[in-house]
């Protein structure tokens, strides 16, 4: 009898312990917009756009001045989802290696309910989405490409949605996101929302002043609509973020929900924005600051102090270890190149990141083939591309940046990278040597074939 009572007490304590653990683990919403540098968010000083909802998240949470992506879509998404630098697992554009484990896999394994909505563009089908840890989805570019905006082609849990002829794709995605947040559940949730906004084609939104934009939307689908709509698209993505926040408030889940907002790369090259008294030309698909410097906002009322403008370095390998730590995944189960931002969010100290590494070459290099000898012959003939490989990588701190070909810049004084530093102070010499040592440790990954590291 006594043994039974003790056993029952132990069971109750274990149950309470689990319940307490689940209560302390945050819900997680990760939003990544498409093709918008940090100059697209007004809290960072943009004079061209107004983003009141993102600004509120930053003022009530933490925003980072030195967050860096890769300069283009797929490399950034692969890095963000797997927590690894691209030389370890990147295969080719539009594909995520099925052998990889994502943050959704990790969190699903510890009891999180997982969902994804927005832009996929990582290959595969319904089974692929599930393979990467998402139990439910509402996605563009999974079942065919077609339009992402007006009259969109969207797949929801394996079925192509019908009756969307007059619908705006981002609204459909956000409707799904709000429904997912509102679900009755006992476990925490992860929602990953890789937005399609404000990627080309530039189209009128439902809030654009142009009358009849819904009826005339066919003029813009799949074509370059016009840069004049880009500010409208930025405003609309901000509005959609506001809808998610309102849903969290109404469902009384805001306090213990970690919401992170960032972007996959800089603005498109035909977009010009005003910030810091200068015009910033979009730098997508290039390695300078305007191609890789992105917004990074974290909002978690239960733990993050209000209005913190953080100057620590962040790159996309940091996302997975951060979510895993906060979600209760054992550190021994996580294989990542990143640093958890958990201590930063809790005000306990820095993440430990001292540099950011990036590698990207526009148009790529010869892929791996069954005939390795033939591939090597092709490589030998491409001297210019081999030289370009060195120019296509950098290691940087918040201030200094060293390219693989030896160019060294003081970004604080020369953000447009017009003046190569040649006459260095002793301190600059030490910093350059440190960055060079980091770069030299990285594999000579020239041909978009992942190394075995």
The span from the CA of 30 to the CA of 193, in Å, is 6
3-state secondary structure of 278: strand
Kindly list the structural domains of the chain, giving each domain's residue range(s) and its CATH number in brackets, ordered by start.
24-354 (3.40.720.10), 361-441 (no CATH)
| pLDDT at residue number 447 | 43
pLDDT, position 392: 86
Residue 12 pLDDT exceeds 90: no
In Å, what is the CA distance from 82 to each residue of 259, 321, 450?
Answer: 19, 9, 14
pLDDT digits (tens, 9 = 90+) for 187-224: 999 999 999 999 999 999 999 976 445 544 554 444 55
Distance (Å, whole) CA 51 – CA 278:
19
Distance CA 188, CA 181 (A): 10
Sorted by sequence, the CB contacts under 8 Å of residue 385 that are 6+ apart come out as: 361, 365, 446
More confident residue, 353 or 18: 353
The reply to whether the predicted model has a pTM over 0.75 is: yes
345-402 residue pLDDT tens: 999 999 999 999 999 876 544 444 445 566 566 556 554 554 554 468 999 999 999 9
- 241/16: higher pLDDT: 241
pLDDT at 20: 36
SS (H, E, C) 407-443: CEEECCCCCCCCCCCCCCCHHHHHHHHHHHHHHHHCC
- Centre a 10 Å sphere on the Cβ of residue 361 and count the other Cβ atoms it contains: 18
Mean pLDDT of 223-242: 90
Whole-angstrom distance, CA of residue 284 vs CA of residue 272: 12
Q: How many CA atoms lie within 13 A of 36 on its CB side?
A: 32
- In the numeric block, which tokens belong to residue 69? 């992506």
């Amino acid at each position: 009898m006594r043994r039974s009572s003790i056993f029952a007490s132990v069971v109750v304590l274990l149950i309470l312990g689990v319940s307490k653990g689940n209560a302390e683990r945050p819900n997680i919403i990760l939003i990544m917009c498409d093709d918008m540098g940090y100059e697209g968010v007004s809290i960072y000083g943009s004079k061209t756009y107004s983003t009141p909802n993102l600004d509120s998240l930053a003022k009530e949470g933490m925003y980072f001045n030195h967050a860096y992506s890769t300069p283009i879509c797929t490399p950034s998404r692969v890095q963000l989802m797997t927590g690894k630098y691209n030389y370890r697992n990147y295969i080719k554009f539009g594909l995520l290696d099925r052998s990889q484990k994502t943050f959704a896999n990790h969190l699903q394994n510890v009891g999180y309910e997982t969902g994804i909505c927005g832009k996929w563009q990582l290959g595969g089908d319904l089974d692929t989405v599930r393979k990467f840890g998402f139990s439910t989805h509402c996605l563009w570019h999974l079942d065919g490409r077609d339009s992402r905006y007006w009259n969109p082609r969207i797949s929801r849990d394996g079925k192509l949605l019908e009756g969307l002829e007059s619908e705006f794709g981002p609204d459909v995605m956000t409707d799904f996101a709000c429904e997912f947040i509102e679900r009755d559940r006992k476990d925490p949730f992860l929602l990953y929302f890789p937005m399609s906004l404000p990627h080309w084609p530039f189209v009128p939104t439902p809030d654009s002043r142009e009358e009849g934009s819904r009826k005339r939307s066919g003029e813009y689908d799949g074509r370059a609509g016009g840069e004049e709509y880009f500010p409208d698209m930025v405003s609309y993505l901000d509005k959609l973020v506001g809808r998610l926040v309102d849903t969290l408030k109404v469902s009384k889940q805001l306090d213990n929900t970690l919401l992170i907002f960032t972007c996959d790369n800089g603005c498109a090259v035909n977009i010009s924005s005003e910030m810091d008294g200068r015009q910033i030309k979009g730098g997508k698909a290039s390695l300078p600051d305007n191609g890789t410097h992105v917004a990074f906002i974290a909002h978690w009322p239960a733990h993050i102090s209000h209005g913190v403008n953080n100057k620590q370095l962040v790159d996309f390998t940091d996302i997975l270890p951060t979510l895993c730590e906060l979600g209760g995944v054992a550190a021994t189960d996580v294989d990542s190149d990143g640093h958890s931002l958990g201590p930063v969010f809790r005000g306990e100290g820095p993440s430990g990141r001292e540099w950011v590494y990036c590698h990207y070459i526009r148009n790529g290099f010869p892929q791996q083939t069954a005939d390795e000898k033939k591939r090597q012959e092709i490589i030998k003939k491409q001297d210019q591309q081999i030289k370009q490989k060195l120019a296509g990588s950098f290691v940087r701190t918040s201030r200094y940046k060293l390219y693989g070909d030896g160019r060294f810049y003081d970004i604080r004084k020369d953000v447009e990278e017009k003046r190569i530093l040649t006459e260095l102070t002793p301190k600059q010499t030490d910093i350059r040597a440190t960055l060079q040592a980091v770069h030299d440790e990285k594999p000579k990954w020239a041909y978009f074939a992942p190394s075995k590291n």
